[in-house]
């Protein structure tokens, strides 16, 4: 389980790894090196923690690795927890490498996601384009996150935006807002690719109702038969993943 979770953590660091030209080393540890430093992500079995470490490359040679951040992770932790570890490490790396200082300037240059061509299966960019069209208040947040992280982290973005909109619509019994959101989710669940489907079920519905089983039941009651493609996958995800703590 730990190796798979480690790769989930590493995946969240991809924007920094790519933008700063880090190259993964062929070694037992997850070590990435560029022209100025090395970073290492590893799991300490005894302490049950993920560690983000750094080594500075100097003329006299490399320094020893030192810890930048640590994150508790035990047998009860899930893939969602691993993504949280990765997001925390990504924030830490951005700060350590000085990549957050120009966010306000950089976000002005971030283009909004575009639409998918008519003959192409919609992916996350198309899905995000539709979300921002329906909920334009989140355009600045999209630009800010892309600027901060060096790329678009769909799970992080949608769990903090679309999931919140969905949960609040159910809490407030706001049928107009809910119909708008569910209409989009249902359409993209059937038309979108696997990444879109996974984002809808886990990052949006799962995040919206993870600790609110009773609210999920209200959600099902409110949508009735208006989400014929989404309803059963949402029920299965809550029943077999969220409620069983996977």
Return the DSSP state at 117: P
The pTM (predicted TM-score) of the whole model is 0.63
The answer on 111 and 87 residing in a single domain is no
Cβ neighbourhood burial of 39 (10 Å; 0-12, 13-18, 19+): buried
CA angle at 151 for the pair 147 and 153, rounded to the nearest 5°: 110
Do 50 and 13 form a contact (C-beta atoms < 8 A)?
A: no
The answer on 189 and 118 residing in a single domain is yes
The domain tally of the chain equals 2
> What pLDDT shows up at residue 124?
92
The answer on 181 and 131 residing in a single domain is yes
Cβ neighbourhood burial of 229 (10 Å; 0-12, 13-18, 19+): middle
Domain that holds residue 72: 2-96
> What pLDDT shows up at residue 168?
93
Helix (H, G, I), strand (E, B) or coil at 59: coil
Q: pLDDT per position in the chain (246 positions), as tens?
A: 468 888 889 988 888 888 888 999 876 678 999 988 999 999 998 888 999 999 988 766 667 899 999 988 888 788 778 888 888 898 888 888 887 645 555 666 788 888 766 667 889 999 999 999 999 999 988 988 887 777 788 888 999 999 999 999 999 999 999 999 999 999 999 999 999 999 999 899 998 998 888 999 999 999 988 888 999 999 988 886 655 544
The answer on 64 and 108 residing in a single domain is no
Helix (H, G, I), strand (E, B) or coil at 127: helix
The answer on 218 and 184 residing in a single domain is yes
Separation CA 236–CA 246 (nearest Å): 13
The answer on 125 and 233 residing in a single domain is yes
């Amino acid at each position: 389980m730990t190796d798979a979770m480690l790769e989930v953590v590493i995946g969240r660091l991809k924007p920094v790894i790519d933008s700063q030209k880090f190259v993964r080393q062929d070694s037992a540890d997850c070590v990435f090196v560029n022209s100025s430093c090395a970073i290492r992500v590893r799991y300490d079995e005894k302490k049950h923690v993920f560690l983000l470490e750094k080594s500075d490359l100097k003329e006299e040679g490399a320094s020893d690795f030192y810890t930048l951040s640590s994150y508790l992770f035990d047998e009860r932790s899930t893939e969602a927890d691993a993504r949280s570890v990765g997001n925390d490490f990504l924030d830490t790396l951005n700060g350590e490498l000085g990549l957050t200082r120009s966010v306000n300037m950089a976000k002005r240059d971030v283009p909004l996601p575009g639409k998918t061509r008519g003959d192409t299966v919609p992916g996350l960019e198309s899905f995000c384009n539709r979300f921002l069209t329906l909920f334009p208040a989140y355009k600045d947040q999209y630009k800010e996150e892309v600027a901060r992280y060096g790329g678009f982290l769909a799970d992080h973005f949608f769990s903090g935006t679309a999931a919140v909109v969905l949960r609040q619509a159910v809490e407030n019994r706001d049928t107009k807002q809910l119909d708008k959101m569910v209409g989009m989710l249902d359409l993209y669940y059937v038309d979108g690719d696997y990444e879109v489907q996974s984002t809808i079920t886990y990052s949006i519905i799962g995040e919206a109702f993870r600790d609110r089983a009773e609210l999920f039941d209200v959600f099902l009651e409110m949508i009735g038969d208006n989400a014929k493609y989404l309803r059963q996958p949402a029920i299965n995800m809550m029943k077999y993943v969220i409620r069983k703590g996977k």
